[in-house]
């Protein structure tokens, strides 16, 4: 079989590698955070990883809050205004993590997932991970279960499907997303970015949405990044099958979110060696502004899916 799964138990938490032996495309998934740490294909005779990766599981445990590389954002995304919100006439204050003055990037970015299943055949390789959030943060006293399925398949494509389920008495507020940083081997300045959106959410000076939408079609037909700085959220055009393409002279990354992730947050860090392209189900501060906020009903399963695809040029 061309597809294979390897589970490494030698580090502080398991590391799962999904491989296509015929093409040498591979993906490395950490049980810590459920995150994608590497996604690689051969480029000019060498294996090239497009993820700004941690050096080990231990490195991820120690440094996940330093940039939140590849982090899973749940049960809220990006920033929450001063870590506070009201739900069902009750006020809540999130305990972690703060980039003053706001709480950022959810609560479960450092969750350790259990490896529930691995699978390999002649068409794909996959790993299924599970985590139960047990209402450990006083600011989000609603337990829920998350099952992640990472699947590597043909054409250098990996997908991730998150299934969220809870058994609380009432509906609970929820938003989620992913926070990967991509490095195509050159400065971001030399990369072209294209995605299907002409609408940007206006932010205030603390990066919270104001409620206004701005027309921004810079990236509809592709734009050489140059010195463009972004720390912005875009609303994807759902009339098409929206995608986001990041490329340079040697490699092309295509991101293929399903309708469950209608927002795209993009951040260019000062070093410009990588770029964060984040699929989000809800906008920053969704618990307060309601933009994309979901109310998850008890005993229902909600799914959120995106995929990444690589091509050597």
For 117-128, what is each residue's pLDDT tens digit?
999 999 999 999
**Integer Rg of the chain from CA:** 19
pTM of the model: 0.97
Q: Which residue has the tokens 């959106």?
A: 197
Using CB atoms within 10 A of its CB, is residue 11 exposed (0-12), middle (13-18) or buried (19+)?
middle
Name which CATH class applies to 3-312: mainly beta
Name which of 9, 35, 26, 218 is nearest 129 in CA terms: 35
* Whole-angstrom distance, CA of residue 142 vs CA of residue 134: 7
- End-to-end C-alpha distance for the chain, whole angstroms: 27
Q: How confident is the model at residue 239, as a pLDDT?
A: 82
Q: What is the pLDDT along the chain (313 residues), one digit of tens a residue?
A: 999 999 999 999 999 999 999 999 999 999 999 999 999 999 999 999 999 999 999 999 999 999 999 999 999 999 999 999 999 999 999 999 999 999 999 999 999 999 999 999 999 999 999 999 999 999 999 999 999 999 999 999 999 999 999 999 999 999 999 999 999 999 999 999 999 999 999 999 999 999 999 999 999 999 999 999 999 999 999 888 899 999 999 999 999 999 999 999 999 999 999 999 999 999 999 999 999 999 999 999 999 999 999 999 9
Question: What pLDDT, on the 0 to 100 scale, is given for residue 183?
Answer: 98
pLDDT 10s digits, 57-103: 999 999 999 999 999 999 999 999 999 999 999 999 999 999 999 99
The domain limits of the chain are 3-312
Give me the pLDDT at residue 251, please.
Answer: 98
Rounded CA gap, 159 and 164, in Å? 16
| Nearest residue to 301 (alpha-carbon basis) of 241, 260, 255 | 260
List all residues 6 or more positions away from 30 whose beta carbon is below 8 Å from its beta carbon.
13, 14, 15, 16, 37, 54, 57, 60
């Amino acid at each position: 079989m061309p597809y294979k799964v390897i589970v490494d138990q030698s580090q502080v938490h398991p590391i799962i590698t999904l491989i296509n032996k015929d093409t040498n495309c591979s993906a490395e998934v950490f049980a810590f955070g459920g995150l994608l740490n590497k996604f690689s294909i051969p480029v000019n005779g060498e294996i090239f990883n497009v993820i700004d990766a941690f050096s080990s599981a231990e490195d991820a445990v120690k440094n996940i809050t330093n940039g939140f590389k590849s982090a899973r954002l749940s049960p809220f995304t990006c920033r929450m205004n001063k870590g506070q919100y009201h739900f069902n006439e009750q006020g809540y204050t999130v305990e972690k993590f703060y980039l003053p003055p706001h709480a950022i990037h959810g609560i479960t970015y450092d969750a350790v997932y259990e490896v529930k299943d691995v699978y390999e055949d002649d068409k794909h390789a996959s790993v299924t991970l599970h985590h139960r959030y047990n209402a450990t943060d006083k600011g989000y006293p609603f337990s829920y279960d998350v099952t992640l399925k990472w699947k590597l398949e043909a054409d250098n494509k990996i997908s991730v499907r998150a299934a969220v389920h809870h058994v609380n008495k009432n509906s609970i507020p929820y938003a989620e997303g992913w926070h990967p940083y991509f490095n195509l081997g050159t400065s971001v300045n030399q990369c072209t970015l294209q995605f299907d959106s002409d609408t940007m959410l206006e932010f205030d000076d603390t990066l919270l949405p104001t409620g206004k939408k701005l027309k921004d079609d810079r990236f509809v037909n592709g734009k050489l990044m140059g010195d463009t700085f972004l720390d912005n959220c875009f609303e994807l055009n759902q009339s098409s099958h929206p995608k986001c393409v990041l490329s340079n002279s040697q490699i092309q990354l295509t991101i293929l979110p399903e309708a469950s992730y209608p927002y795209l947050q993009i951040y260019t860090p000062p070093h410009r060696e990588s770029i964060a392209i984040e699929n989000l189900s809800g906008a920053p501060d969704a618990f307060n502004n309601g933009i994309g906020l979901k109310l998850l009903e008890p005993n229902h399963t909600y799914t959120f899916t995106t995929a990444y695809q690589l091509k050597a040029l």
